[in-house]
Amino acid sequence: MRRCGFALFLLLSISIITLSACGGGGGGSEAVTPPTISLLGTYNLTGFDIDFYDGLFYMGSLAETDFSSWSGEMKIGLTTFNQSFVLEGVVGGTSGTYVITYTSGTSVGYATVNDGGTIYTIGFSITGNNITTFTSGYDPVLGWDWEEWDYWVKTSDSLGGSITSLSIESDKLGSPVLGFANLIDWN
């Protein structure tokens, strides 16, 4: 009987340890699950959509098919973030240090980018090697709010080239810009 009691005690102990190692409910903070594919690398822009609103009313949209020429590149390094855009020959973008925050248990989050003291929040969603970024803002010329979705595909795990090259180009615009919506000439 003693052996049976000891065996039952040992089996119960192993079961409890095994079950507790599986995780479970309980309080505390949830662990954040980063994406399975590394964010670090170079991405090419494959398309974009921009919606415009006057207060709460939808005013229209623009997409890559509305322009004769456009391109974009995004580079995510260990501490640096760079998005560059060319729309109808006008160059813009943002470049700076960043912090990434993920929504727990998903591949959705946002990057907070510090471009020389200007702070941008860029939402994102990851599916395999594809990233969709989301930004929004206000166009003072039109008096409209805008929301922009940019679609990127990862082309390399490396950054290949200088991450600071955009800083020189964006200085031509007077200040850093975020997204295509800021490059449209409404005049």
| 30-55 residue pLDDT tens | 444 444 567 889 999 999 999 999 98
Give all strands (DSSP E) within 3-107, no chain letters. Answer: 41-54, 57-63, 70-76, 80-87, 90-102
The predicted pLDDT at position 180 comes to: 52
| Torsion, CA 75, CA 69, CA 46, CA 138, rounded to 10 | 70
Percent of the chain residues past pLDDT 90, beyond the cut: 30
Could you tell me if residue 66 is inside a domain? Answer: yes
Whether 82 shows a pLDDT value over 80: the answer reads yes
The number of distinct structural domains making up the chain is 1
Could you tell me if residue 6 is inside a domain? Answer: no
pTM (predicted TM-score): 0.67
The predicted pLDDT at position 148 comes to: 92
Indicate the length of the chain as a whole number. 187
Could you tell me if residue 24 is inside a domain? Answer: no
From the list 51, 52, 48, 50, the residue with the least C-alpha distance to 70 is 48
Whether 130 shows a pLDDT value over 70: the answer reads yes
| Residue numbers of the domain that contains 153 | 41-182
Dihedral sign for Cα atoms in the order 145, 57, 180, 77: positive
Mean pLDDT confidence for 160-173 = 36
Burial 57-88 (b: 16+ CB within 10 A, else e): eeeeebebeeeeebebbbbbbeeebbbbbbbe
The predicted pLDDT at position 64 comes to: 92
Whether 4 shows a pLDDT value over 70: the answer reads no
Could you tell me if residue 10 is inside a domain? Answer: no
Whether 169 shows a pLDDT value over 90: the answer reads no
Residue-wise pLDDT tens digits, 55-65: 889 999 999 99
State the average pLDDT for the chain: 73
From the list 171, 148, 157, the residue with the least C-alpha distance to 72 is 148
Could you tell me if residue 52 is inside a domain? Answer: yes
Could you tell me if residue 11 is inside a domain? Answer: no
Tokens of 132: 């969709």
Percent of the chain residues past pLDDT 70, beyond the cut: 65
Whether 108 shows a pLDDT value over 80: the answer reads yes
Could you tell me if residue 123 is inside a domain? Answer: yes
Could you tell me if residue 33 is inside a domain? Answer: no
Report the CATH number at residue 70.
2.40.128
The predicted pLDDT at position 86 comes to: 92
